[in-house]
Amino acid sequence: MAKYSRLASVEERRNVRKAAIFVLLTIAAVILLFFIGIPALGKFAGFVSDLAKSDKPIASQDKTPPAPPRFNSFPDFTNQEGVVISGDTESGATVKLTFNGSGEEALADRDGHFSFNLKHQPRRGKQTWEEYLTEIQPTLAFTFKKSPDLTIDSPAPGAQFFGTKQRQVTIQGTSESGVGITVNERILSVDDMGKFQYTTTLNDGENKFLFKATDSAGNTTESELVLNFSS
């Protein structure tokens, strides 16, 4: 009987100890919720309430200008009436472009891609556009070119040559600096002033020479020279 009484007493003390620990943990949880959870919950509820009442979009506080846009490669020269300029920048950024005084804008897509389709009637000479994104304003240059000049200076078209001493003739001409010149598909040398010459031996009868000038944009100009020789 005494043994049973002692077991009951030990079990009762264990239950009391468990109950005390549970009460202490509950009190600690309530205090933690009061000082941390409730203020945070209140702030979140206030934010949701203000958002529901406002009909204005949330303004971004990011004032840092995006990095300069990166342009895809394009030719330095063209003879086309349209040019596509494309590149990459920050997603959602607006790229502004001024081309020969006319302004255009392009909005970068979610991947940061943008493009401009410039329609323009080619005219000789360099034309520029200014492209700027927020505070960044690089200047790019693009050149539209028409067909190059090509003139045969000597001898005159249809000139007549006679005898052995006149069988060999030198043809001289003028084009533009940087232009490639061929005669009957043979490449000629062109100096800084656009001058070139070609020395050849004439055959009896009619001799035809087709000169072609090609610039860096692919424009070409042709000129045919006919010389006559009689031995």
* Residues 217 and 156 reside in one and the same domain: yes
What tokens were used for 204? Answer: 């009896």
Residue 223 included in any domain = yes
| Boundaries of domain holding 86 | 70-144
pLDDT of residue 218: 81
Lowest mean pLDDT across 9-13, 38-42, 89-93, 203-207: 38-42
Place of tokens 């000129």: 223
Same domain, 130 and 154: no
- Residue 89 pLDDT: 80
Residues 114 and 171 in one domain: no
pLDDT at 54 over 80: no
Lowest-pLDDT range, 56-70, 167-181, 212-226? 56-70
Q: Domain containing 119 — which CATH number?
A: 2.60.40
pLDDT at position 45, please?
56
Statement: residue 33 has pLDDT above 70: no
**Last residue within a domain, chosen from 144, 164, 192:** 144
Residue 62 lies in a domain: no
Q: Does residue 116 share a domain with residue 159?
A: no
Kindly state the average pLDDT of the residues 102-120. Answer: 77
126 and 169, same domain (yes or no): no
225 shares its domain with 158: yes
45 in a domain, yes or no?
A: no
Amino acid (1-letter code) at residue 137: Q
pLDDT category of residue 41 using cuts at 50, 70 and 90: low
SS3 content of the chain, % helix, strand, coil (to 5): 25, 40, 35
Q: Let me know: does 211 contact 220? Beta carbons within 8 Å.
A: no
Within this chain, do residues 130 and 78 fall inside the same structural domain, yes or no?
yes
Domain end, chosen from 109, 144, 179, is at 144
Confidence of residue 92 (pLDDT cuts 50, 70, 90): confident
More confident residue, 227 or 1: 227
**Are residues 78 and 122 both part of a single domain?**
yes
In this prediction, residue 199 carries a pLDDT of 96
pLDDT digits (tens, 9 = 90+) for 116-171: 777 655 555 555 545 444 434 444 444 555 788 999 999 999 999 999 999 999 99
What's the whole-model pTM score? 0.47
- Same domain membership, residue 221 and residue 176: yes
> Is 56 contained in some domain?
no
Instruction: Tell whether the model's pLDDT for residue 172 goes beyond 90.
Output: yes
| CATH number of residue 197's parent domain | 2.60.40.10
Q: Identify the residue with better confidence: 10 or 160.
A: 160
Are residue 163 and residue 220 in the same domain, yes or no?
yes
Residue 60 inside a domain? The answer is no
Q: Which of the listed residues 90, 115, 144 is the one where a domain comes to its end? A: 144
140 and 155 inside one domain: no
Q: Are strands 94-99 and 70-71 parallel, antiparallel or unpaired?
A: unpaired
Q: Is residue 194 part of a domain?
A: yes
Instruction: Return mean pLDDT, the chain.
Output: 74
Residue 202 lies in a domain: yes
Examine residue 24 and state whether it is found in any structural domain, yes or no.
Answer: no
Q: What is the pLDDT of residue 91?
A: 76
Same domain, 154 and 140: no
More confident residue, 99 or 21: 21
What is the tally of structural domains in the chain? 2
**The dihedral sign for the CA sequence 85, 90, 93, 96:** negative
